[in-house]
Structure 1
């Protein structure tokens, strides 16, 4: 009897669910068909039955559910499950083959690897061939020799980067339970799984203590992830596989507080692993401390040069994002400070090639495509500072930050219930989740976003909790959710929250009547539980979650709102003339026009987004009645400052109705004007019709 990865994932979803999970919700979460879900349910129930655990129940029109007793028993059985109980996917098999060989300690031949990953000779050979090709991206080489078996050769820094990458595939760390369950495995003959877990416990404690010295708090999943990496790197050191660090980089790292703390950690690691740690290893582990994602950090006094540079970068990025998104954030100082909190560890991750982040790019692109696109356009100052291009994962995490800012700016809350967001993935993830939840529930006020440890160690005056991982329930309901909510998850969450908190007179009356009928013909053994289940079932509103409509540029910039003029007396006149048709047709008020002018007076020519192009705008609440846009093309440039770089021929008046609906059109517009030849061509065109047709054709060619 085996339990594969997908079946395990379904089980974890059911364990963490407070109520029923529908087949639709599971198909969307796991990206599989309904038939696959039902097939997996049969396998899971067979596995549960073999262990004497209550099977998954299926209730028509509601979904799947586990009994409370089953939820208690399953995690222990998963943790104690022997390796042969688990079927690996191809990616997992390749990851484990790589880890076994990279961690050394013994000779691995084909038969050894077949036993480890539990597949046929032919499948193992195919996996090794595929791995041989994949591992070249790390500048490593997979070889075979008759005497020594399979080996992976290359620079130690690349080997450790590969270890980190394949660990993220083989052991997707979410919490302590999933990590312990996955580590019921021997990496090599010299170290047992029990020893490995003891090493992990001790290193985790060292890192936990280091938080006070560094005056930071790691994200929960980062603390486990970093602990495991340090354990495996330490094993490499005991095998005399030492790292080499650049002399100049060592001098830079030596000045950081993290290096002083790392030296103390390495003293303890020498005791734990009974081997000396070379100085270069201390510098190398320092880069991991500096690159670790944090929930909280006080600036290191000895690192104030980098902090000052990052502050300037964060200001530039925030300023440019506001221009591109045509919005103004209220508390810009706090937004910049939070962005620096993310940029600092990202700086070290990119600089030293530390591949320790989860792959979230596809998820972010599918849910926040426009925000991700705009973020790509504002990262240049950060890339210049690092001297390297940003990986997509890092861009995705920065887009979390800006996405949260947009949601926060566009959300009006009517606070009735107090809630807490608990997130193991860091500030960026928790902020975007917080804004999604606030957008769903106008009567819920989210008072804070905290780590799992903060939630467990402190008391909060709250009514409910939204968490990205399973946590200990106290005296309030806990709803386990994904960091990025799908439509099915949003609908399910609305049902579950309403089921608990919407206690109207009508619902109570309906439940009471049903209970009365049941009691006439049957004996109720668990009345309170039955009442609860009935209220869950009866309070399932038919809700359709519609994504915010995001029209294309050509849907907003209509031909009748494109105008040309020979010249204007000054930039204020240019804005007034550009906005005139929108005022005439009731898209904006005169107050909005005045607010656009006031913003330039207050903030300077920030609306000049590229040479010869300006996009004046204000906040939706300043007088936008409906989403609109107009374009004014001048034959003679008007200047928005004394600097010639602010001479403008094209003025696009933008009227955003909210913080999101205009993002697709705006992304297309900035993409259009990012090309110098496109701008020059538009300036030469004479009529509104010519300009409209050229923009329309350019957008078609973009796709």
Structure 2
């Protein structure tokens, strides 16, 4: 039943003509519609105007024979109940609809597009500039014909654009009209699942219903079909299904069957046939990806945890077909994933190399983002038990070293505040942060859940302590002008009774800093019973000059590598972290604490001290480094006793200036021994 015309008796007339195998005299139309000859002529004129607006051939009259509808018009009217008209679309939405319409139709005039989208012809003309730009990227173009505009170019490129944008197109059409589905398609998709043993996800099945309807309708025109090049015999179950489906539609074309088998496999599956030969190849690759992610991330994900290896293998099946046959996937949240889960994203890119080697192609960022979500889900479950229940979370690149120092000082300065951590970046990205009100980090982080973040050094300056205090006050975690157990305001009042205060705020800040430092009990020596790292003379060196900061890090860590406490991978990781996050390992006063995670290549607890007589700049920073402390931790705790003592010495400006003034290694060793930082071997 045709439903096209808005005029009374219009659809009745169209149905009469479309159902007739021959010419219909005007007298028959008059009798069937109970209309006068004049009224029939008028109705045919109005219907032809409607058909012309939709770029369809009009009702034709052959003298002495009667009226008929051209086959192309009849087919178009029978395939669609009504032509949807859009309104209120944004510019990007209009461009997408125009591109789709131009690809789908034989020709489209400005008048038709204007009517179809409920905008002016001038608007369509402006929009076509953007459409041409989009089509150019697909190696397609627009040409003008006597009846309207036509998209020219390879048929596969036309289909590729429609397929890659199908989800958005379906959403737009369903918002303003009802799309008619070929009733055979849902049954055929169920048959596909039974034959292959693979089950499509609900989203994939829904998309394929619409795309297959569009595809089969397109193939009704032989000129739209691929050239049947009789490709190599293909006996996959999906190809067998595709070939059968096309035969049912009177299409015998192996090239089309190949195409159909490829695109149905490129959508996501919920589960697969594990006996599939391709799955047998992909599963070991998945295990390699998980193992590599563990290595580069410094984590220990169990491949069977949360069925990760199975779920990721299922995902890689559709990924294989998309990448192999150049079907682009666009992740709607790519920008958010790359910003909020930057570390997880970057590590996933490194981890997928075994899969890229198999494909002989590099995965796009959108495909990487999809795979990163699998690792993110497992990590979120794993880190749900990590202590992040504190009101203030401390973060650094590795969760070792700098953040441990900062956390210790924060807990000393603010014993009433619940601090948690330290976390590394990947733990932070995949943590729920349920009770967290403030994040304090030694590196730059992307905000989550609108939780405020402040970046400070591991040994905060007076200004940074003031920043921390203000942030704690803003988060309602500490009272204004107060240090635990001692009220700064009270001290100010006492001082004011005996002297004139010129800078009240400056004095408050200085008092807070002094009190926070004096509440920290200084250790007198390292504790050998807790495996504190002990420097030997080989771990201490004075270096006159280096060309680049990378050379300085390598030189500083060489003693630990030569003794077998670390390997070259650990040094490379420190350099990579510095390139990525900047000079966050700089502690101020010319000091750098060079460190990474134990999993990055530490075999034995160790530390080195290197003094550079000619300071060097770390990355592009203007701050100069004179002293590099090389740290090789084996866990988060065993180095802290010794490191805490060393940091106390380094905060003594006289002691630090004395160290910087030394030119002779023997004198440097003597200073360290006298300060209980280097064991005296008798």
TM-score by length of 2: 0.48
Q: Which structure would you say has the larger RCO, counting Cα contacts within 8 Å and 6 or more residues apart?
A: 1
Considering fraction of residues, name the structure with more helix: 1
Task: State the TM-score, normalizing by the size of structure 1.
Answer: 0.47
* Structure (1 or 2) with the larger CA radius of gyration: 2
